[in-house]
Each structure stands twice: as C-alpha cells, then as structure tokens.
C-alpha cells in the first residue's frame, strides 16, 4: 500500500488529531530492566520514517536549542563528551564532590503538557510535529488490551530523545549558577563545593516534579574526595543519597578513585572474556556468526571504554590473550600466530585483514581520538562556564539599576529576541515604531 505524505501533513501544519490515531498508536512491549520494567512502544514504520527524516533536517537547530549542557540531542560523541567533561571537573582541585543523580522512570514521567508549552519557544522547528503527535492520548496495544499514553514520551519513537532533551532545557537553565553540571537525557551530574551541591540538589527536588523529573535519592550517589567525607555526611545527612569516596559507574564508564576505575575495568574485562569464550564455542560450527558477533557487538563495548578511560591497555590484555590463543585458532584452524600475522589480522578487510583489532594496541589511540573529537564541545562548555563566572564577578560591581536590569534580562525568555533571526513570516522581525 502506498502512503502519500504531503507537505502540510503532520510536520508543517497542525492537523486534526483524530486523523492521526492510527499514526500515533503503538504495540507495547515490556523490556526487563532487572529490576523494573520499561515500556517500549513499537510504532508504525511510516511514523519512524517521517520522524527520522524530520530529525535529519532539523538536527542542527535541535543541537543548538539543547545547548552544551544537555548532550543527548544528537551532538557528536555527546556521551563521551559528558564523561570527559565530568572527569575534568572532578579532577580539579577546587572540586570537593560530584553528584550523580538518578531519576524515577524519567521518560514516562515527563510532564507532557508543559513540554508542549516549552518546546515551541525552545526549538520552534519541532513545534508542529510534537504537538501533532503528543497533544492527544496515544493508544497502546498490549496483551489484547488498549491503554492510553497520557504522560511522557513514547520510548521507541525516534523523536522521543530530542523531545525529552528540549523539554528539560528550561529546568536545566534554572539550575545553572554556581555549580558545574552536565546532563545526558535524565542522567544528571553536578560537581563543585558541597554547600553548592546541596543547594543545587534542593532546587532540583523543588522544581523537578513540575517537569516530571522525580529524583530517586536511593540510587543517587555523591562521590566525595576523602578529605571532605565528614563534611559531606553532615551536609547531605537527611537526603537519602548514597555517599562514597571510591567511585561509581557513569554513562558506561567509571568515575572516581584510580582503585575504583581499575576495579571497574577489570570487572568488565572479566565479563567480556567470558562472553568471548562463549563465542569460541559457537565459532566451531558457526564461524561467520561468531566473527560478526565479535566485530559488530563485543568490540563496541571495549572500544567505548578505551575512548573514555586512559591507561587501561594493560587491563585489556586478557581480551587479547583470549582472542589470540582461542578465538582466532578456532575461527581459522591455525593454532599459532606470529606478531606479524596478528598485526595483519587487525587490519580492516579492505586492506587484507579481518578487522579483529588488538584491544591493548588500540586503547591509547582510541582515547586520544575521543579527546580530539570531543574537544570542541568541551571548549564550548569551558567558555560557557568562564562567561558565567565573569557574570557572577561583575554583578556586585554594577549599580543597583544595572543589577536589576541584568536580573530581568536573565529571566526565562526575556532575551530570546536577541538570538532570534528577524523572520517576518514567523513574527520575529522587530521594526522601529
């Protein structure tokens, strides 16, 4: 059946929501979060095509609207940038602690009505599509029953991540001040002085529920430097936050003391080595499938760790030993490989190799590459923090009238006209009276 999508349909104009019931309806499946369940909506193919097309066209505007603090809006290597930025902040001598915040069922709890009010002002290019697809309850089919989706975003919708990121931008801007913060979707992290962190936490607990962001203090961790641990327990005593001097997993990487990072890496390497041993068993009868599982699956996990953590090549050596002594012999039937042959097999296929890289040899290069790729975004973050510090220093020196004028100019939306392009058809052009 051919489906014709006209210019005005869905993304360029407001349409009658009753005509989009089938378009927004989804089959609902339950993903085991162990513990907990995450509902995933499986939508129509045409919805995914339209949504991904819109995202490809509007990606630059979405990234600019999300800014440098919310890094899940399609910014290149956003996840790696968040890890590098937070580690640099944590390692700074002026930082006493880092707070890693967990939110309860964040995507499903998002205040949809407030999001539909905020997104048009934050990112006007997504105005029509998010209102057309989220202003009415969507039907979700599960187990022969129909339930209505009334809050949050539909996980499985390609627009869900962008919508969630933009919906939280006003909240993140309200929280920004004397604390350094980094966000990746609902994963919030802040670092600085303990007293400032407590003020930031109090504000997040206060305004978060308005946006549908409910903190889960039992799964929130404060990583504090050893000499400040007593003060940390005193300041955060009534919050229910877990306090540690060791470290914690952050966005698939590790943050904390060198001992914790080493322990984390060793644990992951042990897990991957066990999985690699299983692949060796499959390679006996299904060599192509085992090869694909390694190069398209397992590789990505330890490459990401290599890109976000430095000096872990030695810790990755068990993986290389398993590849060289077990996987490659099972795959090829050759028992022993010289160093020269191993290097040849690490080359990509178009250069005559198998693309089975050496985890140890590539670790340093991967980290350096990640630093270079994420450098511009980190510089942007530093420049923003520098401007904010300058603004804080200048404010007390201004006259009372200028202080009040600046405070008004900093209110949400007060200075939006300065950054808007003067487009007449959208009513953004100002003229002399």
CA–CA gap between residue 353 and residue 344 (Å, rounded):
5
237 and 293 housed in the same domain = no
CA–CA gap between residue 308 and residue 366 (Å, rounded):
9
In a domain, 428, yes or no: no
In a domain, 28, yes or no: yes
Domains contained in the chain, number? 2
In a domain, 303, yes or no: yes
230 and 338 housed in the same domain = no
233 and 306 housed in the same domain = no
pLDDT at 200: 95
Burial (0-12, 13-18, 19+ Cβ within 10 Å), 24: buried
Contact 137, 23 (CB under 8 A): no
51 and 92 housed in the same domain = yes
In a domain, 362, yes or no: yes
In a domain, 407, yes or no: no
Under 8 Å CB-to-CB from 312, ≥6 apart: which residues?
Answer: 265, 305, 306, 363
In a domain, 104, yes or no: yes
Under 8 Å CB-to-CB from 405, ≥6 apart: which residues?
Answer: none
266 and 181 housed in the same domain = no
pLDDT at 108: 86
In a domain, 300, yes or no: yes
Torsion, Cα 173 177 182 185, to 10 degrees, reads -30
Contact 372, 76 (CB under 8 A): no
DSSP label of 157: B
Torsion, Cα 271 276 281 287, to 10 degrees, reads 150
3-state helix, strand, coil in the chain (%, to 5): 55, 15, 30
Domain boundary (256, 271, 289) is at: 256
pLDDT at 75: 84
98 and 230 housed in the same domain = yes
CA–CA gap between residue 96 and residue 194 (Å, rounded):
6
65 and 36 housed in the same domain = yes
User: Could you identify the residue written with the tokens 């699956």?
Assistant: 297
Domain boundary (323, 347, 367) is at: 367
134 and 281 housed in the same domain = no
The rounded average pLDDT for each run of 10 residues, N- to C-terminus, in the chain (433 residues) is 42 78 85 74 86 90 88 87 91 93 90 91 88 88 85 85 93 84 93 94 95 94 95 93 94 93 94 92 88 88 90 91 91 86 86 86 81 65 63 80 78 59 59 53
133 and 266 housed in the same domain = no
Residue 404: HSE in the Cβ half-sphere, 13 Å Cα cutoff: 3
- What is the distance between the terminal CA atoms of the chain, rounded to a whole angstrom? 55
Domain boundary (256, 289, 322) is at: 256
Classify residue 311 as left (phi > 0), alpha (psi -120 to 50) or beta: left
231 and 353 housed in the same domain = no
In a domain, 40, yes or no: yes
Under 8 Å CB-to-CB from 153, ≥6 apart: which residues?
Answer: 107, 108, 110, 112, 134, 159, 160, 163, 164
For CA atoms 174, 175, 178, 180, give the dihedral sign.
negative
Phi, psi dihedral angles at 40 (to 5 degrees): -115, 125
The Cα-based distances of 349 to 109, 207, 357 in angstroms read 46, 53, 11
21 and 114 housed in the same domain = yes
Element (H, E) at 199: helix 194-211
Which range marks the domain in which residue 129 is found?
Answer: 17-256
pTM of the model: 0.79
318 and 238 housed in the same domain = no
CA–CA gap between residue 364 and residue 93 (Å, rounded):
26
Q: In what order do the strands lie in the sheet with 37-43?
A: 37-43, 26-32, 138-142, 145-149
């Amino acid at each position: 059946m051919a489906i014709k999508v006209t210019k005005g349909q869905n993304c360029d104009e407001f349409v009658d929501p009753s005509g989009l019931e089938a378009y927004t309806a989804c089959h609902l499946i339950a993903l085991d979060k162990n513990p907990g369940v995450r509902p995933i909506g499986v939508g129509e193919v045409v919805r995914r095509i339209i949504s991904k097309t819109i995202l490809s066209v509007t990606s630059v505007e979405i990234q600019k609207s999300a800014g440098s603090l919310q890094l899940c809006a399609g910014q290149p290597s956003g996840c790696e940038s968040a890890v590098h930025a937070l580690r640099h902040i944590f390692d700074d001598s002026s930082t006493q602690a880092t707070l890693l915040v967990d939110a309860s069922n964040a995507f499903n709890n998002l205040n949809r009505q407030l999001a539909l009010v905020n997104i048009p002002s934050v990112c006007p290019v997504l105005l029509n599509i998010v209102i057309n697809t989220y202003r009415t309850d969507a039907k979700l089919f599960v187990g022969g029953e129909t339930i209505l989706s009334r809050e949050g975003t539909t996980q499985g919708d390609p627009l869900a991540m962008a919508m969630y990121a933009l919906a939280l931008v006003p909240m993140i801007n309200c929280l920004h001040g004397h604390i350094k913060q980094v966000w990746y979707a609902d994963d919030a992290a802040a670092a600085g002085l303990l007293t400032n962190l407590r003020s930031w936490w109090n504000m997040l607990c206060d305004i978060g529920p308005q946006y549908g962001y409910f903190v889960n203090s039992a799964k929130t961790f404060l990583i504090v430097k050893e000499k400040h641990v007593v003060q940390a327990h005193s300041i955060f005593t009534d919050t229910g936050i877990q306090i540690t001097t060791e470290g914690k997993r952050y966005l698939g990487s590790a943050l904390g003391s060198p001992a914790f990072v080493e322990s984390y890496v060793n644990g992951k390497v042990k897990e991957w080595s066990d999985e690699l041993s299983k692949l060796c068993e499959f390679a006996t009868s299904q060599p192509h499938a085992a090869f694909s599982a390694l190069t398209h699956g397992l590789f990505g996990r330890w490459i990401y760790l290599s890109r976000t953590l430095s000096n872990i090549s030695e810790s990755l050596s068990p993986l290389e030993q398993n590849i060289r002594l077990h996987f490659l012999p099972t795959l090829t039937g050759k028992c022993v490989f010289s160093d020269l042959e191993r290097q040849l097999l690490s080359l990509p296929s178009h250069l005559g190799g198998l693309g089975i890289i050496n985890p140890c040899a590539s670790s340093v290069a991967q980290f350096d590459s990640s630093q270079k790729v994420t450098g511009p975004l980190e510089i942007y973050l530093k420049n923003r923090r520098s401007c904010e510090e300058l603004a804080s220093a200048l404010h007390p020196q201004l006259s009372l009238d200028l202080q009040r004028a600046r405070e008004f100019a900093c209110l949400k939306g007060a200075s939006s006209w300065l950054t808007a392009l003067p487009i007449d058809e959208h009513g953004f052009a100002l003229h002399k009276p």
